[in-house]
Amino acid sequence: MTEQSPMPQATYERIPISPRLEEVAVQIRKGQAPNSGRFCGNCYTPLAADRDGCGYCGASVRERPPVERVPAPVIAIVRAKRSRESWIVNGFAYIGLLIGTAITIWLFVVLPGLWKIAAFAMMLLGTRGFAAILGGWLGDMLGYRSAAGVTRRRWEAYLAQRDGAGH
């Protein structure tokens, strides 16, 4: 059996949900995949049959035996993470649309005659640009940070409950 080199501990501590677990949890929640397989007993990242340890959190299968299902609370943590990210990104994108729309209206009122074409161009290009910048850049950055914080707190609460119960 081969052992996968673990993810740097700082990454696991920052976001305890691996990208692979997030993919699988979303598929499970949507009913596109069964909640069965071989998962790390520590962080629930999917494990190949030949792995002696988790490549994400670094836990050995000897320390924490693999489990066959992702617990429902872990799937709920992934859902909350994705929901938080989406809410923030979309919120900033809508703010960008509002700013672009306000500028378009202002230009249409202020500009004379054929210059109103500039207002139309602002509507076509500017509103999309503001939405992309605010949602796609600022919203994405803030959404990721906020979701990471929520995920960490919920994960710590879950671990306290899981490990405190002697499992």
Kindly tell me if the per-residue pLDDT of 4 is higher than 50: no
Torsion angles phi and psi, residue 153, rounded to 5: -60, -45
Q: Is the pLDDT of residue 16 over 80?
A: yes
- How many angstroms separate the CA atoms of 107 and 116, rounded? 7
- For the segment 92-97, the average pLDDT, to the nearest whole number, is 95
Q: Which residue has the tokens 């000897």?
A: 62
Report the 10 Å Cβ neighbour count for 156: 11
Among the listed residues 9, 39, 11, the one whose alpha carbon sits nearest the alpha carbon of residue 24: 39
Task: Classify residue 93 as exposed, middle or buried by CB count within 10 Å of its CB (0-12, 13-18, 19+).
Answer: buried
The pLDDT-based confidence of 116 (bands split at 50, 70, 90) is: confident
The mean predicted confidence, pLDDT, of the chain is: 88
pLDDT for position 13: 57
pTM of the model: 0.79
The per-residue pLDDT for range 80-93, each reduced to its tens digit, is 999 999 999 999 99
Tell me which of 11 and 78 has the higher pLDDT: 78
Yes or no: say if 75 and 25 are a contact pair by the CB < 8 Å rule. Answer: yes
Q: What is the tens place of the pLDDT at every residue in 48-73?
A: 999 999 999 999 999 899 999 999 99
- In the prediction, which pLDDT does 11 show? 55
